[in-house]
Amino acid sequence: MNRIAAFTAVFLVSLATASVQAELRLPSIFGHHMVLQRDMENPVWGWADPNADVSVTFAGETRTAKADAKGNWKLKIKSMSGSSHAMNLVVKSGAESITLSNIVMGEVWVCSGQSNMQWAVGQSDDADLEIATANYPNIRLITVPQVGTQEIQDDFKGQWDICTPDTVGNFSAVGFFYGRMLHQMLGVPIGLIDNAWGGSAAEAWVKRDVLEKDPRFATVINEWKNTEKTFNWEATLADYQTKAEAAKAAKKPAPRYPRNPLTGQHRPGNLWAGVLNPTIGYGIRGAIWYQGESNAGRAYQYDDLFGLMIGEWRKAWGQGDFPFYWVQLADYKDEVSEPGESDWAELREAQSNTLELPNTGQAVIYDIGEGRDIHPRDKQNVAKRLARIALARDYGVNVAYQNPTYKSMEVKGDKAVLTFDHVGSTLYTFDTKSATGFTLAGKDTVWHKATGKLLGRDKIEVSSPAVKEPVAVRYAWAANPVANVESREGLPLDPFRTDDWTLSTEPKPAAE
Residues 6+ apart with CB under 8 A from 426: 457, 458, 487, 488
Mode of pairing for the β-strands spanning 161-163 and 72-76:
unpaired
Mean pLDDT of the chain: 94
What is this structure's pTM?
0.93
Looking at the predicted structure, is the pLDDT value of residue 20 above 80? no
Q: What is the pLDDT of residues 299-310, one digit of tens each?
A: 999 999 999 999
325 backbone dihedrals φ, ψ, rounded to 5°: -120, 140
CB neighbours of residue 376 within 10 Å: 21
Q: What is the pLDDT of residues 167-189, one digit of tens each?
A: 999 999 999 999 999 999 999 99
Q: What is the pLDDT of residues 32-72, one digit of tens each?
A: 999 999 999 999 999 999 999 999 999 999 999 999 999 99
Amino acid 335: pLDDT: 65
Please state the rounded mean pLDDT for residues 371-384. Answer: 95
How sure is the predictor about 6, in pLDDT bands with cuts at 50, 70 and 90?
very low
Amino acid 510: pLDDT: 61
Q: Between the CA of residue 321 and those of 40, 166, 286, 304, 358, what are the distances in Å? A: 15, 35, 9, 17, 7
Amino acid 508: pLDDT: 81
How sure is the predictor about 337, in pLDDT bands with cuts at 50, 70 and 90?
low
Q: Which helix (H) or strand (E) holds 278?
A: none
Q: 140: buried, middle or exposed (CB in 10 Å: 19+, 13-18, 0-12)?
A: buried
Residues 6+ apart with CB under 8 A from 222: none
- Residue type at 326? W
Looking at the predicted structure, is the pLDDT value of residue 483 above 70? yes
Q: Which residues pair with 100 in a beta bridge?
A: 89
Q: What is the pLDDT of residues 196-245, one digit of tens each?
A: 999 999 999 999 999 999 999 999 999 999 999 999 999 999 999 999 99
Of the two residues 19 and 436, the one the predictor is more confident about is 436
In 77-171, the DSSP E strands lie at: 83-93, 96-113, 136-143, 161-163
Looking at the predicted structure, is the pLDDT value of residue 460 above 70? yes
Q: Between the CA of residue 469 and those of 129, 420, 441, 472, 500, what are the distances in Å? A: 54, 22, 8, 10, 18
Looking at the predicted structure, is the pLDDT value of residue 91 above 90? yes
CB neighbours of residue 57 within 10 Å: 17
Asked whether 429 and 487 are in contact (CB, 8 A), the reply is no
